[in-house]
Each structure stands twice: as C-alpha cells, then as structure tokens.
C-alpha cells in the first residue's frame, strides 16, 4: 500500500464518520496514527514503512479541507 492510498482511505473515513473532524488537527493526526498502526499490525504495510511515514502539512491541510466540507453538510 502506498501513502497516497492511505490518504485517500483517510479522506473516505472522514466523510463516513459521525465525528466532526473540522478544525481538529489532533484528531486527524490521531486517525492517521491509529490507521497506519492497524495497517502495520495487519501486515498491509511494512514495519519499516510504518516507522518512516509521516503526515505532511500539505496532507494534513487536505484532510482538514475534506473535514470542513463534510461539516458544512452535516445535520446537527
């Protein structure tokens, strides 16, 4: 699995989640860490890749943008 697929999976998770991730960098980083940890434990990514992968500022901003768009259309 490549990093781009991980980011796309996270975008889909944010869209489908009942949690409001908008403006919550910590929650998105936690989602990223938990997801990559699960991928590593399930042997979907190597331990070496898991130890090297980081969420860049650009990727974080793109995930926040998805979260902001979702929150605009969410019924409260």
CB 67 within 8 A of CB 14: yes
The domain limits of the chain are 3-71
pLDDT in tens, 13-69: 999 999 999 999 999 999 999 999 999 999 999 999 999 999 999 999 999 999 999
Q: Angle at the Cα of 26 (from 67 to 41), degrees rounded to 5?
A: 95
* Cα gap 50→5, rounded to integer Å: 14
Does this model's pTM top 0.85?
A: yes
């Amino acid at each position: 699995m490549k990093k781009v697929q991980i980011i796309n999976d996270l975008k889909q998770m944010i869209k489908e989640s009942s949690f409001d991730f908008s403006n919550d960098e910590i929650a998105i980083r936690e989602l990223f860490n938990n997801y990559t940890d699960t991928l590593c434990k399930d042997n979907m990514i190597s331990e070496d890749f898991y130890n090297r992968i980081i969420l860049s500022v650009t990727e974080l901003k793109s995930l926040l943008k998805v979260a902001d768009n979702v929150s605009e259309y969410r019924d409260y």
